Structure 1
Amino acid sequence: MPRLMLSDEQWSKLKTIMLQEGIYDKLNLRLEVEGMFYRMRVGCPWRDLPKQFGKWASLYKKFNDWSMTGKWLRIFKAVVQDPDLEWVFMDGSYVKAHQHSAGAAGKACEAIGISRAGRTSKIHLAVDSYGLPISFKITDGQVHDCLAAPSLIESFPPPEVLTADKGYDSKSIRQQISEKGTVPNSPRKKNSMIGNANLDRHLYKLRHLVENAFARLKHFRAIATRFDKLKRNYQSMLDMACSYLWLPM
């Protein structure tokens, strides 16, 4: 039997949320979910999944259906319970797109662009005071942090302080943060005439929490390298990974 990821306690918590989302409680539901997590962890093609998880085509169809209807996204949002919003940290990270994900162009949104690293996607992530993911956005690899920040900021409740690096130093972003009653804590760019007198440097040092979250997420090979062609399927993989980080909480 392949190595599994979910303990009985974690499965009990996840199953309760899945049933609330209208997922039918089949006898092999846990095994199907473990198959999806296995693919997330090892990054193998769907057709190479071990036979113990069932027919790979059926498993992929179910994952694709849940992705299309946004079930994994809703599960992630349900798993995120009582995040510590005293401080929130934001950052972005590139993900290399495998050649199997960057094939012929289609009509569906892919969010794969060309940056210095080649064909890439970019994950824009926000974590709470404990370094747990609370929201993320996926864009083309060449999209600057400042362009993705407004929608990311709107996707989670206002914290007391929002910390990010100088890539988020924008007058409009600072204004958006301040209008929510949040204190922006980002260093100014080198050409700024205002300076960093108001920067909380001790809090800024804790920005490694979002870097640690990226490191934990990229332990899963289907997150560290993008194998999914469709944006929504890769997003569902990331929803699964973020949910897994929350399950022990």
Structure 2
Amino acid sequence: MISNWLGSAQLRRIDDRQWESIVGVLPDKLSVRAKNRELTYRKFVEGVLWVIGEDAFWGELPREFGSWRALYVRFLRWNAVGVWSDVADVIGRDTALARALMQRADQHAAVVHRRRQRVAQVWMLEASP
């Protein structure tokens, strides 16, 4: 279980056991990539958990985690395939961090859905005679 994420501005790390558990719940191809490029993917997951744990904006992500935009786009991609629900299970569904992670994932999924609906509506309006 990942603990002590909320309430502290420190940069935190997930331990090896936690990382192995997270990799174990990833979809097959993603799991292989995460194993082959462990440092990159681990830093990504830690960055996401930092943003969630600190209830921060993506742009507030410390530079040590890399580009916040790249992290955000990957977060959305993982969200689209339902990865964060599995990660929340690894963290522990009853923890504040897991609840915050799922809340943020749901919020972003809703935004993506609304954007797709708007684009479809605009396309339909432009296509009608």
What range describes the TM-score normalised by the shorter chain of this pair? 0.5 to 0.7
**Count of aligned residue pairs for this structure pair:** 95
What's the TM-score, normalizing by structure 2?
Answer: 0.57
Please tell me whether the aligned partners of residues 21 and 75 of structure 1 are also in contact (alpha carbons under 8 angstroms): no
The structure carrying a bigger strand percent of its residues is 1
Point out where structure 1 has 5 or more consecutive residues left out of the alignment. 81-131, 134-212, 235-249
Please tell me whether the aligned partners of residues 79 and 105 of structure 2 are also in contact (alpha carbons under 8 angstroms): no
Task: Give the aligned residue type for 1:64.
Answer: L
2:77 matched to which residue of 1?
A: 65
Task: Give the aligned residue type for 1:30.
Answer: R
2:29 matched to which residue of 1?
A: 22
Where do residues 100-139 of structure 1 align in structure 2 (5 Å cutoff)?
133=93
Where do residues 35-184 of structure 1 align in structure 2 (5 Å cutoff)?
35-76=47-88, 79=90, 133=93
How far off its partner does 1:73 sit? 2.6
Point out where structure 2 has 5 or more consecutive residues left out of the alignment. 1-9, 112-129
Distance 2:19 2:105 in 1: 25
How far off its partner does 1:75 sit? 4.6
Q: Which has the larger radius of gyration?
A: 1
Cα 1:233–1:53 change in 2 (3 A) is: farther
Please tell me whether the aligned partners of residues 21 and 74 of structure 1 are also in contact (alpha carbons under 8 angstroms): no
Cα 1:229–1:70 change in 2 (3 A) is: closer
Percentage of pairs with the same residue = 22
Q: Indicate whether 1:31 and 2:39 are aligned.
A: no
Please tell me whether the aligned partners of residues 76 and 108 of structure 2 are also in contact (alpha carbons under 8 angstroms): no
Any idea what SS the aligned residue of 1:13 has?
A: helix
Please tell me whether the aligned partners of residues 52 and 104 of structure 2 are also in contact (alpha carbons under 8 angstroms): no
Task: Give the aligned residue type for 2:79.
Answer: S
Please tell me whether the aligned partners of residues 64 and 233 of structure 1 are also in contact (alpha carbons under 8 angstroms): no
The structure carrying a bigger helix percent of its residues is 2
Taking only aligned residues, the RMSD between alpha carbons, in angstroms, comes to: 3.3
How far off its partner does 1:53 sit? 0.3
2:121 matched to which residue of 1?
A: none
